[in-house]
Amino acid sequence: MYKLLSHNDLDGVGCGILAKLAFGKDVKVRYNSISSLNREIEFFLENDPPETCLIITDLSPNEQNERRLNEHFTEHGNIQLLDHHKTALHLNDYEWGYVLVEDAGGKLTSATSLLYEYLVSNQYLKPTDAISEFVELVRQYDTWEWEKNENHKAHSLNSLFYLVSIDEFEEMMIERLASSDHFDFDEFEKRLLNMEEDKIERYINRKKREIVQAQVGKFFAGIVYAESYHSEVGNELGKEYAHLDYIAILNVGGKRISYRTIHDHVDVSEVAGTYGGGGHQKASGSSMNEEAFKQFVLDTFHLEPLQADAKRNRYNLKESTFGSLYRNRGDDLFLLYPENGKWVIEQNKKTLSETFISFAEGEKYLKRNYEAWLVKDDLFVEYLMNEVKGKE
């Protein structure tokens, strides 16, 4: 008998699907949130027959259960943990732990891709094109590689996952993978997924108008409330407000925070770690403890949302040698322009003492310190006209 304890997201459920394809009725699968895993491990250690083989994927136990699992392994064997989270790398010290973030070819892994390899190399599962394609979609979604590759099918698979219940999704996928040569969506699903993508886009546009900015510790965070589509929200807001180090997505009802960054200089698994959570460098989560509630909710409740840069300008453009015009909520105007190989800022026509090596550095300073946004063309033209008049 096998028992699989896995995460309750697409990558975690991908593992359950593979386990059921491999072991059929001989495997019991339980999906968990990060916090419920330890209860399940304790239940297993106390109640399951010792000959049951335990597989844990996409999640890691706390220290106490790490020790208990090791004791169980020393006595009975029969434990395998597979994970790809950076914060679980210490589990490689155990014979039963296998944590790999990036494979030998430099490709990011996912729990589903690690389990697939494990099942195939131990000859529990025969590889097929359909299963390999499914595993690769899950991997690309989980590692966010789909975006770079513009692999929208991977994104759609995750959307479909959240449109139906976990049981339905599992059943649908097992049947499809067992019976088709290639992995694909049917016509009805394709129509549904198109509608869903539009809905996600509208949701994200709303979140772009709700986000506030605050300095939390050494970083500038964007803070937004959202219950759904965390990765999409984090990624789009991160790009829209690239001057922020990371985006904190608050789910007050669930008492959870997700952290996302698009930058290499920030490790959000460390940010999550300060509140008892963990995860990856670019995507992590923690529960919302009192300290986090104070910093992210109470201390920011009075703040006004950020305003996005004007998008359809023809004249007031970024990195323009004529300068780019910004405004803040106090109606101050800022002109960012190059001069003698440096970038300088004029605030209401008065030059600031700081200079910048690039446009991006100047804009980052402007946005972090003044929450200014690129204004629309009409205001820019008006500004230039006044400039000309002033000189006459």
* Residues in touch with Mn ion (CB under 5 A): 11, 58, 111, 142
What's the min distance (Å) between Cβ of 278 and Mn ion?
A: 12
Closer to Mn ion at the Cβ: 119 or 335?
119
CA distances from 118 to 121, 137, 279, 310, 359 (A): 5, 18, 22, 50, 48
Write out the two tokens for 247.
């985006």
Task: Report whether 371 contacts 329 (CB < 8 A).
Answer: yes
For residues 158 and 324, which CB has a smaller minimum distance to Mn ion in the complex? 158
Residue 184 near residue 154 (C-beta atoms within 8 A): no
Q: How far is the CB of 197 from Mn ion (least distance, A)?
A: 22
Euclidean distance between CA atoms 221 and 223, whole angstroms? 6
**Gap between the Cα atoms of 239 and 308, Å rounded:** 11
Q: Which of 98, 47, 35 is nearest to 72 (CA)?
A: 47
Nearer to Mn ion by C-beta: 138 or 344? 138
Q: How far is the CB of 138 from Mn ion (least distance, A)?
A: 9
Cα 181 to Cα 161: distance, rounded to the nearest angstrom:
21
Q: How far is the CB of 351 from Mn ion (least distance, A)?
A: 50
Q: Name the token pair of 305.
A: 């949302």
End-to-end CA distance of the chain: 88
Least Å from the CB of residue 183 to Mn ion = 19
Q: How far is the CB of 142 from Mn ion (least distance, A)?
A: 5
Please report how close the Cβ of residue 80 comes to Mn ion at its closest, in angstroms.
16
Q: In terms of CB distance, is 11 or 371 closer to Mn ion? A: 11
Looking at the Cβ atoms of 11 and 232, the one nearer to Mn ion is 11
- What's the CA gap between 363 and 231, in Å, rounded? 25
Tokens found for residue 14: 């991908």
Query: Residue 222 or residue 279: which is nearer to Mn ion going by CB?
Result: 279
Q: Of the two residues 58 and 66, which places its CB atom closer to Mn ion in the complex?
A: 58
CA-based R_g, the chain, Å: 25
Structure tokens at 52: 């049951």
